[in-house]
Chain A
Amino acid sequence: MSFFNWAWDWVTTDANWHGEGSIPQQILAHLGYSALPLLIAVAIAVPAGAAIGHRGGKAGVVVSNIANAWRSIPTLGLLTLLAVFLGFSPLTWLLPLVVLAIPPILVNTSEGVAGVDPGVRDAAAGVGMTAWQQVLRVEVPIAMPLILVGLRTSAIFVVATATIAAYVGLGGLGRFIIDGLDSSQYGPVAGGALLVVILAVIVLALFAGLTWLLTPAGLRKQSRTE
């Protein structure tokens, strides 16, 4: 049997949709495990990125290099290390996912804000905007398409990686994959994998919509032609 046969048989088995640890329950749990770290990462990385981008100069290069090194931190290693010290505390799964989500948002926000046309900046200062107003009302909105691309990358990373969190005893769709691997049952392994992929593709589509909504109207035409 191929992957899709296994996955399809398992997903369409009625019993898997009811009771404790059913598919709908684990999808909800998975979304919860993904949303919280993303929100925390946004709260850290967007202000930090905007500040670095607004300042300009060499900071952007430094941030980009740090972000590249940061990518090498293995999520599984961080997760197991925290599990040894903290057990099943919320920090155990939260921290590795926040660490994973920060670099794309940080780099894109700082690049997006730094890349705002100097003429536009001057105009904003010229009409009497304070530094705060320039950042919040001009630079961040203009950088929004790029910021959202970073956020999308992070969201995909987190939805995909929340799978590994099942390894330290959490719920979510990774539960099916890890338990299936342990008990050599390929049905839940394939089915769980398929559901994660579908969830990730839905996230991609959501971001396409979100990008359109949050991009200032004047920039929409421009970003479509890219």
Chain B
Amino acid sequence: MMWSWIPANWSLIWHLTWENAKLGVLPALYGLVISLPLGVIAARWRWFYPPVLTVINVLYAVPSLALFVTLIPAFGLTDTTVIIALTVFSLCVILPNVVAGLRAVPAPVRQAATAMGYGPLRSLVTVELPLAVPLIIAGLRVGVVSGISLASVGQLIGVSSLGYLFIDGLQRSFPTEIYVGLVLVIVLALVCDLILVAVRRMLTPWTAGPRERRTARAARLVKAAG
């Protein structure tokens, strides 16, 4: 470990961290934006979900490097290629959670909303989606954490990220660079994860206490059934 390398390359490290954060977080947000309408449709019309789930399972089986490569003819060796590929992956982990979250809303709750005169849209936006937030965020966490980690692979097609430190470190047989990259990827992922946990607490103040443990268990089960 050569500590002096870090301050000497501060601006490079900062630049790569920022790029990596962008390549990891943006796809998860895009994945969320696409998953919400699809998830609402899948939760309402049950026949829609099984075929979508099959497509998702197959897409999730595509190696990240292979997916980057398939997109190169269309988008070149650019950020767009990596962001589109990672959006596909995040969709695969977020959509099942949106569907599970909406389906887990107890029928009496929906009936109560109807009885209070809520239309389907108002019930969805003000009752069902908020109740599904813990599960949706559980999916988003997996999407962001694995996205940040996978973004480093983008370096293999020349898109700059913290993966640069791995590849440069290997070529120069200089472990310090690889240590810095590993630590930064993990720290970046954990920071984003903590932010999402804080967002969930803010959005769902009613889950504090013993009920939170129940939703946490449900979230883990969905992840497990993944």
Contacts and interface: CB of A to CB of B under 8 A. Distances in A.
Contacts of B189: 69, 71-72
Given A84-B178, A112-B224, A163-B65, A193 B163 contact: no
Contacts, number: 164
A149 B72 CA distance: 32
Contact of B62 (A72, A75, A77, A160): A160
Contact of B65 (A84, A115, A174, A186): A174
Secondary structure of the B contact surface, majority rule:
helix
B73 A150 contact: no
Contact of B152 (A76, A168, A174): A76
Contacts of B115: none
Given A3-B73, A72-B149, A112-B224, A77 B181 contact: yes
B41 interface: no
Contacts of B220: 60-61, 64, 107, 111
Nearest to A174: B65
A102 B155 CA distance: 25
A38 interface: no
Given A77-B182, A149-B225, A84 B63 contact: no
In this complex, the interface size class of chain B, counting residues with CB under 8 Å from chain A, is: 35 or more
In this complex, the interface size class of chain A, counting residues with CB under 8 Å from chain B, is: 35 or more
A177 B225 contact: no
Secondary structure of the A contact surface, majority rule:
helix
B167 interface: yes
Interface in A104-135: 104, 107-108, 111-112, 115
A101 to B, nearest CB: 14
B129 interface: no
A72 B216 contact: no
A167 interface: yes
B69 A107 contact: no
A174 B223 CA distance: 29
A75 B67 CA distance: 17
Interface stretch (B119-127, B138-146, B198-206): B138-146
Contact of B163 (A76, A146, A163, A194): A76
A31 interface: no
Nearest to B225: A149
Interface of B: 57-58, 60-67, 69-70, 72-73, 141-142, 145-146, 148-150, 152-153, 155-157, 162-163, 165-167, 169-170, 173-175, 178-179, 181-182, 185-186, 189-190, 193, 213, 216-217, 220-221, 223-226
